[in-house]
Every structure is written in C-alpha cells, then in structure tokens.
Amino acid sequence: MLGLIQELMQVSLGNPLVLLLVGFQIWMLVDAIRREEWIWAVFIFLFTTFSALFYYFMVYRMQGPAAGGLGLRGFELPGAADRRRIKELEARIHHLDKARDHSDLGDVYFSRGKLTKAEACYRKALERDPEDDDTLSHLGQCLLRQGRAAEAKPLLEKVLAADARHDFGYTLMALAETQTALGEVDAALLNWKRVLEHNSYPRARVQYAELLASKGRVDEAQAEIDEVLADGDHSAAFEKSRNAVWIRRARKLESRL
C-alpha cells in the first residue's frame, strides 16, 4: 500500500514516467482482480510495479486473447498451465458437477503434490461414479503416497481384478509398491515380474532389483540394474531427466551388491 501511495504522490509532481508506471500497475491490479488472482492482486497493490511486471509475464501474457493477453504459444512458466486447468475444471464442476471433472482436478492436484486436495477430489468423483477404475486407481495411489498403504491396497486390487494391465501397468506398479510397504515382499516380487513382462519401466526394474537383493538373489538383481543403466546411457535427454531418480537408485544399489 505504501508503495502505491508513494507513486501516486510522485505522479502529482507531473513526472510522465511515473504516471505511466502507476497506470500499468493499476491495469495489472484490475486484471488480477477480474481473474480472481487474489495473491497476485495483493502483491501488485503492496509492492509497486515490480510485482505488476512479474504478473504481466507470468499470468497476463499466458492467458490468451479472451482475457486480454497476447496469447503466447509454445512458452510456459512453471504453474501457468496448472492454474488455467484448475480454473477450467472448477468452472465445469460448478456448472455440471460431473465425476470426470472432479477426478481430473484430483489428477492436477496429485501432480502438484497436493495430496490432501487430490484425495478430496477423488472421493467426490467416486460419490458420483463409484465404479470408475481410473479414479479408484488414482485414489489408491494418492493414499499410498500419503503412507496409507493398507487403505490403498483394496482399491488397487479391485481395479486390477477387472483389468490386469490397467493404465499401462502403472496401477500394477502401485500395487507392488503397496505390497512392499506392507511387508508382502513375495507378492510384490511376483507383481514386479508381471509388470516387466510387458514394460521396461526403470521404476519397476529398480524396485524389483532392490527386492531381489533383499532376498539374497544378487545375480538377478545385478542383471536388472545392468538393464536400467544400459537403457539410461542410450536414452534421449528428456527420458534421462524423467528417469534420473531411478538411475541414481540403480547406481546406489549397484554399489552395495
């Protein structure tokens, strides 16, 4: 507030540059209020034109002509797409209240690590469609990430009973991780092996190798690690980045074998 007041006082002195900056700040403040970007509105109001400038590039220019921006394509700043998707889904939920929109909103929160919000969305989706396999699977995975493996297990098992390869093996991987968390090592080993019969995910190979090593099956574990590291050496840059955590775990395991 003090920053805005100070600039307004300078405007009264007839400085055209300050007048331009204050006008820009007010423009961005009004736009933030129209979009209900309340945090941005507070920062723009309190912290002069620097906040307004950040808002211009991070929100205003990203939101397209319908909101008055320039509608840039092919350039996204962190979180911009998620904010737009959340607003879109919240609007759809307000008008239509469909299970799929609640579930999709849960997926966005899950991807951002907001697991409590994600769980609430998944449960609302299941109130409207209790048999949706995608929502059941994603709720199970959400519970697992919150350390609630016992609650996750029956949800994942229900989905897999209907479709053993649901979600390209991701649901089965989640069940194997759940069984590992519950100390059901033999069952987890069987399910990791089932995943790897159809896929070559580093996430699966590394965790399978870790369990093999824990059972004293060192040669089998080493063979899985060799596969992960060989694939990593010949992967595209984006795949190396995506799988970096599993490559690090593979190397750490190898050093202990």
Predicted confidence (pLDDT) per residue in 71-104, tens digit: 333 333 445 567 888 899 999 999 999 999 999 9
Q: Name residue, tokens 């059972």.
A: 215
Distance between CA atoms of residues 142 and 170, nearest Å = 13
Q: Is the dihedral of CA 159, 164, 169, 175 positive or negative?
A: positive
Residue 79 backbone class (left: φ over 0; alpha: ψ -120 to 50; beta: rest):
left
Instruction: Please count the structural domains in the chain.
Output: 1
Structural domain contains residue 36 = yes
Structural domain contains residue 248 = no
> Is 156 within 8 Å of 177 (Cβ atoms)?
no
Percent of the chain whose predicted confidence (pLDDT) is above 70? 82
Confidence grade of residue 238 (pLDDT, cut at 50, 70, 90): confident
Structural domain contains residue 80 = no
> Is 68 within 8 Å of 40 (Cβ atoms)?
no
Structural domain contains residue 63 = yes
Distance between CA atoms of residues 13 and 8, nearest Å = 9
Structural domain contains residue 85 = no
Structural domain contains residue 164 = no
Structural domain contains residue 20 = yes
Structural domain contains residue 100 = no
One-letter identity of residue 164: A
Here the tokens at position 155 are 């949800």
Tell me the residue range of the domain where 17 lies: 2-67
Of the listed ranges 48-62, 68-82, 126-140, 161-175, the least confidently predicted one is 68-82
> Is 174 within 8 Å of 219 (Cβ atoms)?
no
